[in-house]
């Protein structure tokens, strides 16, 4: 996969000469002789050949070209090229969901006897995938405090193949130092994988900081409007070829329609991420000053214990914040039920603001002890700030505050 974008019969642009905002709208498009301006969509399961000889050459890998949409589809390829350019990776492989991206990484880059060191503050299904399913393939996982560099080092064994983390974490915004951990990973011949779902390449570029692989749930900010499920993995050619090999056989591929939606999503991603971030920072500061609020968790606040790292590692703080209300679970539920506009749902990264009670929904399957250890209290509320008017959002939050 070449890292360039093109105008037919005219100029080829090398992606390294362009900024992320430009790549978001232009990278990856392979214009056809029709001269279409917008990205075309190819809803076809297979492709035809001009002769038996060409078919054989394509299947044999001697000739490049499309064969079958489980592993070669031009719309999916355009999405892969665009996100690879934005993350600064050599190649991307798209998957049917964010979880399928982690499954593909696990099954293609590891084997029986390998070991993973994983942040204890990752997406709940990520923990289930490692503990319930990759464990069956003989891959063991140890969980560590994502903020504690010494704990990561101490957990590494000779058979450790992968370090896996999300930064900032959900819902408490704990951070891992990507540059420092990439050195640890390299010293131990392990791969550092960063789930960059919360910040996207607009606000954080893990590969530039030394990570080996970046992955996304495209379902969140990349779509940005809550329409489609998808995932993607980005990294060096060598590892991506292995992930691609798994996808080709494993079949957890992205559909052309979803790839087309995500291409459109990427075009507005820089604008949206900056707007989500600006609004979240304003609301985090506003919430911190409210008497009914115990504590606000957001990497953009000076009160955040890793504020300095956030300023160094991120280009913005993202759209998700959490806060504890003064009171118990019932107070948190009363707060949520008193809001009128925001959506009560577990999803995030949408233009519509969403509100969640983690202890009884996204983190409800954890035991109370595990939840306590993770710092997720019953009075915690997560807020994924959308693109509504900020004063309307404050009014809705005020309704909640009055009800606690
Ligand atoms: C949602 C999410 C996932 C899983 O993605 P799906 O597209 O829902 O499969 C993984 N990581 C993070 C951080 C997420 O928020």
Question: Residue 33: inside a domain, yes or no?
Answer: yes
- Which residue's CA is minimally distant from atom 6 of ligand 1? 98
In a domain, 144, yes or no: yes
216 within ligand 1 shell (Cβ under 6 A): no
Q: From CA 216, how far away is CA 228, in angstroms rounded?
A: 13
Please count the other Cβ atoms lying within 10 Å of the Cβ belonging to residue 49: 16
Domain final residue, candidates 265, 280, 302: 265
- CA 92 – CA 254 distance, rounded (Å): 12
Question: Do residues 99 and 127 both lie within one domain?
Answer: yes
User: Do the domain assignments include residue 2?
Assistant: no
- List the domain range (segments joined by +) for residue 355: 269-403
CA of 7 relative to ligand 1 center, distance in Å: 35
Give the number of the atom of ligand 1 that is nearest the alpha carbon of residue 101: 9
Ligand 1 atom, smallest distance to 166 CA: 13
Domain of 369: which CATH number?
A: 3.90.1150.10
What stretch of H or E contains 353? none
Structure tokens at 357: 């009670």
Both tokens of 229, joined, read 């499920």
Are 308 and 232 found together in one domain? no
List the residue whose alpha carbon is closest to atom 4 of ligand 1. Answer: 98
pLDDT in tens, 20-77: 999 999 999 888 888 899 999 999 999 999 999 999 999 999 999 999 999 999 999 9
Answer whether 0.85 is exceeded by the pTM. Answer: yes
Query: Is ligand 1 within 6 A of the CB of residue 164?
Result: no
For the stretch 235-263, pLDDT in tens is 999 999 999 999 999 999 999 999 999 99
Is residue 295 situated within a structural domain? yes
Per DSSP, the three-state class of 72 is coil
User: Do the domain assignments include residue 6?
Assistant: no
Asked if the structure places residue 1 within a domain, the reply is: no
Ligand 1 atom nearest the C-alpha of 229 is: 7
Ligand 1 center from residue 262 Cα (angstroms):
15
Residue 298 and residue 390 in one domain: yes
Which of 97, 98, 128 maximizes ligand 1 atoms within 8 Å of its Cβ, making it the mutation to test the pocket?
98
Both 261 and 343 in one domain: the answer is: no
Going by the DSSP 8-state scheme, the letter that residue 389 receives in this structure is -
- Per the structure, the count of domains in the chain is 2
The pair of structure tokens assigned to 239 is: 């590892």
Residue where a domain terminates, one of 203, 233, 265: 265
Closest by CA position to 87, among listed 153, 171, 3? 3
pLDDT tens by residue, 261-292: 999 999 999 999 999 999 999 999 999 999 99
C-alpha dist (Å) from residue 77 to 94, 134, 387: 8, 28, 30
Q: Same domain for 255 and 312?
A: no
For residue 3, tell me if it sits in a domain.
no
DSSP helix/strand/coil, 381: strand
What pLDDT does 34 receive? 87
The answer to whether the CB of 231 is under 6 A from ligand 1 is yes
Is any ligand 1 atom within 6 A of the Cβ of residue 229? yes
97 and 42 together in one domain: yes
Residues 138 and 244 in one domain: yes
Asked if residue 215 and residue 283 are part of one domain, the reply reads no
When pLDDT is averaged across residues 312-340 and rounded to a whole number, the result is: 98
Q: What is the DSSP letter of 290?
A: -
96: Cβ below 6 Å to ligand 1? no
Is 9 a member of any domain? Answer: no
d(CA 25, CA 152): 38
Question: Both 214 and 331 in a single domain?
Answer: no
Q: Which tens digit of pLDDT belongs to each residue from 352-364?
A: 999 999 999 999 8
Last residue of a domain, one of 228, 244, 265: 265
pLDDT band (50, 70, 90) for residue 303: very high
Query: pLDDT tens digits, residue range 152-162?
Result: 999 999 999 99
Structure tokens at 69: 């949409």
- In angstroms, what is the span from residue 319 Cα to ligand 1's centroid? 15
CB 116 within 8 A of CB 142: yes
Q: Look at residue 8 and tell me whether its pLDDT is greater than 60.
A: no
Residues 23 and 143 in one domain: yes
Residue 27's domain is classified under what CATH number?
3.40.640.10
Kindly provide the residue ranges of all beta strands, DSSP E only, lying in 66-114, ordered along the sequence.
Answer: 91-95
Mean pLDDT estimate for the chain: 95
User: Burial letters for 102-112: b for 16+ Cβ neighbours within 10 Å, e otherwise?
Assistant: bbbbbbbbbee
State whether 256 and 364 are in the same domain.
no
* pLDDT of residue 150 exceeding 90: yes
Same domain for 259 and 307?
no
């Amino acid at each position: 996969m070449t890292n360039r974008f093109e105008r037919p019969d005219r100029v080829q642009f090398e992606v390294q000469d362009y900024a992320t905002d430009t790549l978001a709208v232009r990278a990856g498009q392979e214009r056809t002789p029709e001269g279409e301006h917008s990205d075309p969509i190819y809803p076809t399961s297979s492709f035809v050949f001009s002769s038996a000889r060409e078919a054989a050459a394509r299947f044999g890998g001697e000739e490049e070209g499309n064969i079958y949409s489980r592993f070669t589809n031009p719309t999916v390829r355009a999405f892969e090229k665009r996100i690879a350019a934005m993350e600064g990776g050599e190649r991307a492989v798209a998957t049917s969901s964010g979880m399928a991206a982690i499954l593909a990484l696990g099954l293609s880059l590891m084997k029986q006897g390998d070991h993973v060191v994983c942040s204890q503050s990752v997406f709940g299904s990520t923990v289930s995938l490692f503990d319930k399913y990759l464990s069956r393939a003989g891959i063991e996982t140890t969980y560590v405090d994502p903020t504690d560099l010494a704990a990561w080092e101490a957990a590494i064994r000779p058979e450790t193949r992968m370090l896996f983390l999300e930064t900032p974490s959900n819902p408490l915004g704990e951070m891992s130092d990507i540059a420092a951990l990439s050195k640890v990973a390299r010293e131990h011949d392990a791969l550092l994988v960063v789930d960059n779902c919360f910040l996207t390449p607009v606000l954080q570029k893990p590969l530039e900081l030394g990570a080996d692989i970046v992955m996304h749930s495209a379902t969140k900010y990349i779509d940005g409007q809550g329409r489609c499920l998808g995932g993607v993995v980005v990294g060096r050619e060598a590892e991506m070829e292995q992930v691609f090999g798994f996808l080709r056989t494993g079949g957890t591929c992205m559909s052309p329609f979803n790839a087309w939606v995500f291409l459109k999503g990427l075009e507005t991603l820089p604008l949206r991420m900056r707007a989500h971030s600006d609004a979240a920072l304003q609301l985090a500061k506003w919430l911190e000053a409210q008497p009914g609020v115990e504590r606000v968790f957001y990497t953009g606040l000076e009160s955040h214990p890793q504020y300095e790292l956030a300023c160094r590692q991120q280009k913005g703080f993202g759209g998700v914040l959490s806060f504890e209300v003064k009171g118990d679970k019932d107070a948190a539920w009363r707060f949520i039920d008193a809001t009128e506009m925001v959506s009560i749902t577990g999803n995030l990264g949408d233009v519509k603001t969403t509100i969640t009670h983690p202890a009884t929904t996204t983190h409800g399957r954890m035991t109370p002890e595990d939840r306590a250890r993770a710092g997720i209290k019953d009075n915690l509320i997560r807020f994924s700030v959308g693109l509504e008017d900020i004063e309307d959002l404050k009014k809705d939050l005020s309704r909640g505050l009055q009800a606690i």
